[in-house]
């Protein structure tokens, strides 16, 4: 690290969750940062001091940025993962917004359900039906990117949308290992992103957490 390099500190829980895309952006860009993980029991005392009373947040030379996607977009611009021009950037943003649609479209619903029986029912419905509409749409976007021969989602890639989507796919596969069986492009894309220099090494060494 050179003397005048910015100092980055990413603060999140000891989870992959909403912190993992930023961590992988740092890993791919080979930029040093502090991966600060807050313990659940300490969180109530720190909550009010964060920008949106949520995690993650990022400190950059003492400036504080909240909201996971704003953090990732900021890092992606700095490290050339945001898309080459404004049109590519809009396509990257649209895909990232679609990840939010996936999260809000039934994923969080079954995940947070506490009644065991209801949870199993919601989960089965999600993996048998709901998730496939989203996966078909992602696969269609990948196929449509002739710039990269379907290797990446936007331009000649990779962008942070690729990282963000591969992480989502990994999360779905953790719960249902066969979820990508009908989506060869998405499956290959996930493997490609996980093999990128920096990301591959990070995945091998990152703390093992449930999600």
Q: Is 21 in the site for ligand GSH (CB under 6 A)?
A: no
Q: Is 17 in the site for ligand GSH (CB under 6 A)?
A: yes
CA 110 to mean position of chain CA atoms: 20
Phi and psi (nearest 5°) for 68? -55, -45
Among 10, 11, 16, 18, binds ligand GSH (CB under 6 A): 18
Q: Is 67 in the site for ligand GSH (CB under 6 A)?
A: yes
Whose CA is closest to 57, among 38, 40, 42?
Answer: 38
CB of 1 to ligand GSH, least distance (A): 27
Q: Is 167 in the site for ligand GSH (CB under 6 A)?
A: no
Q: Is 148 in the site for ligand GSH (CB under 6 A)?
A: no
Q: Is 195 in the site for ligand GSH (CB under 6 A)?
A: no
Among 10, 25, 27, 55, binds ligand GSH (CB under 6 A): 55
CA 14 to mean position of chain CA atoms: 15
Residues 6+ apart with CB under 8 A from 111: none
CB 169 within 8 Å of CB 186? yes
Q: Which residues bind ligand GSH (CB under 6 A)?
A: 17-18, 47, 54-56, 67-69
């Amino acid at each position: 690290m050179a003397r005048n390099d910015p100092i980055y500190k990413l603060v999140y829980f000891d989870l992959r969750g909403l912190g993992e895309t930023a961590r992988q952006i740092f890993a791919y860009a080979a930029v040093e940062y502090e991966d600060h993980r807050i313990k659940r029991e300490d969180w109530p005392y720190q909550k009010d001091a964060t920008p949106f009373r949520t995690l993650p947040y990022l400190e950059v030379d003492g400036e504080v940025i909240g909201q996971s996607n704003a953090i990732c977009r900021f890092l992606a611009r700095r490290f050339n993962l945001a898309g080459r021009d404004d049109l590519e950037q809009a396509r990257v943003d649209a895909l990232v917004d679609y990840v939010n649609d996936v999260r809000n479209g039934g994923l969080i619903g079954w995940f947070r359900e506490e009644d065991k029986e209801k949870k199993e029912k919601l989960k089965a419905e999600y993996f048998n039906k709901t998730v496939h509409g989203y996966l078909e749409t992602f696969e269609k976007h990948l196929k449509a990117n002739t710039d990269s021969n379907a290797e990446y989602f936007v331009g000649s890639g990779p962008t942070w949308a690729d990282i963000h989507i591969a992480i989502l796919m990994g999360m779905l596969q953790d719960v249902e290992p066969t979820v990508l069986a009908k989506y060869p492009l998405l499956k290959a894309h996930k493997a490609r992103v996980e093999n990128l220099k920096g990301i591959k090494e990070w995945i091998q060494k990152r703390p093992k957490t449930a999600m």
